[in-house]
């Protein structure tokens, strides 16, 4: 079972990551590069680690960052592979509760659930931001994001699998809770980012996440069930 | 597709085996996601920067 789950997640995560990196390279990557040209007006933090002391605005000890172009795309591919495998491992855990009726179709349903929990729920309080957008304190944002994902996951699970009305109602409360509490406030910064660029980035990010999740779900379900057919004792 | 495929009855052994696999997958999945989406190390942040923004992990 360990091999079956990890092999399915690895294959689903890697394939999805390659495809989503391709889509990102001509949908969101150009928006990020464009947004960074506005970010440099107000140097909040370092995005270009390659000015070796020649630019007065940059510190001479600029930390490593991938070179724009192919190197940056390769690191994005690597990070997407990590995200794909990580999310697919969680999907496969969910799918393992569906074992007798496992299919690619069930995988898509788990993928949509993952999208709701990991993308939609946090986006209500922390909309996807292009570089240079005002953001909350990073640590506070991470804690709120993590709590929102955990509570939304528990809530959605209770609503989907809870036997009694009370459990389902409790699930709904869990999902609403982080939004009643509220996401951490944005730090006021003098952002030069054009609003239409920010809006386009937020929308593109959510749409690409949906594609990514559905793909990971479909492929996780497919590989998990196919590997089962092959290894199940007759 | 579900034409009465015979599945091995869930004995205690397979249940433990499945639970072990679930725990392992959860731990590895969470560890990878933490590295990609949350780790503070600057080189890791810079390498995963575009992924963090696009998948809307909280990023600066």
B-interface mutation test, from A75, A130, A185, most B Cβ less than 10 A away? A75
Domain boundaries, chain A: 2-135+186-231
Give per-residue pLDDT as tens, A165-174: 999 999 999 9
CA-to-CA dists, residue A129 to A2, A125, A150, A195, B12, angstroms: 37, 11, 21, 11, 48
On whether the CB atoms of residues A111 and A174 are closer than 8 A, the answer is no
Residue A70 is encoded by which pair of tokens?
């192919």
Q: A100-129 pLDDT, tens per residue? A: 788 899 999 999 999 999 999 999 999 999
Interface with B, mutate which of A8, A76, A147, A153 (most B CBs under 10 A)? A76
Of B17, B51, B59, nearest to A80 by CB-CB distance is B51
Distance, CA of A6 to CA of A164 (rounded, Å): 34
H helices of B4-56, where? 12-37, 42-47, 49-54
Residues of B in contact with A23 (CB under 8 A): none
Question: Per-residue pLDDT for A233 more than 60?
Answer: no
Of B24, B33, B47, the CB nearest to A2: B24
pLDDT category, A50, cuts 50, 70, 90? very low
Q: Which residue has the higher pLDDT, A84 or A47?
A: A84
Q: Is B39 on the interface with A (CB under 8 A)?
A: no
Q: Choose from A86, A138, A143 for mutation: most chain B CBs within 10 A.
A: A86
Q: Is it the case that residue A189 has pLDDT exceeding 90?
A: no
List of chain B residues whose C-beta atoms are within 8 Å of the C-beta of residue A89: 25-26, 28-29, 32
What is residue A116's DSSP assignment? Answer: I
The residue length of chain B stands at 60
- Which residues of A are less than 8 Å from B30 in CB distance? 86, 90
> Phi-psi bin for A37: left (phi > 0), alpha (psi -120 to 50), beta?
alpha
Conformation bin of residue B56: beta by default, left when phi > 0, alpha when psi is -120 to 50: left
Closest residue by Cα to residue A4 from B29, B1, B15, B17: B17
Is residue A64 very low, low, confident or very high in pLDDT (cuts 50, 70, 90)? confident
């Amino acid at each position: 079972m360990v091999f079956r789950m990890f092999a399915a997640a690895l294959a689903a995560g890697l394939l999805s990551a390659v495809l989503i990196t391709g889509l990102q390279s001509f949908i969101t990557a150009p928006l990020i590069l464009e947004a960074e040209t506005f970010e440099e007006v107000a140097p909040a933090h370092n995005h270009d680690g390659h000015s070796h002391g020649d630019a007065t605005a940059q510190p001479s000890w600029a930390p490593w960052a991938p070179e724009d172009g192919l190197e940056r795309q390769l690191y994005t591919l690597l990070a997407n592979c990590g995200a794909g495998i990580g999310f697919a491992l969680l999907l496969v855990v969910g799918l393992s509760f569906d074992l007798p009726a496992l299919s690619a179709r069930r995988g898509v349903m788990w993928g949509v659930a993952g999208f709701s929990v990991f993308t939609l729920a946090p986006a209500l309080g922390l909309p996807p931001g292009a570089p240079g957008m005002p953001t909350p304190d990073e640590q506070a944002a991470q804690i709120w994001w993590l709590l929102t994902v955990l509570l939304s996951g528990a809530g959605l699970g209770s609503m989907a699998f809870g036997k009694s009305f009370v459990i389902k109602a409790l699930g709904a409360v869990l999902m609403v809770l982080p939004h009643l509490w509220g996401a951490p406030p944005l730090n006021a910064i003098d952002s030069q980012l054009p609003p239409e660029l920010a809006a386009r980035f937020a929308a593109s990010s959510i749409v690409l996440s949906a594609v990514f999740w559905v793909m990971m779900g479909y492929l996780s379900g497919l590989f998990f069930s196919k590997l089962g057919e092959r290894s199940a004792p007759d | 597709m579900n034409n009465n495929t015979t599945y091995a009855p869930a004995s205690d052994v397979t249940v433990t085996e499945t639970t072990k696999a679930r725990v392992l997958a959860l731990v590895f999945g969470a560890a990878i996601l933490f590295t990609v989406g949350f780790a503070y190390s600057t080189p890791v942040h810079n390498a995963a920067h575009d992924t963090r923004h696009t998948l809307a992990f909280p990023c600066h």
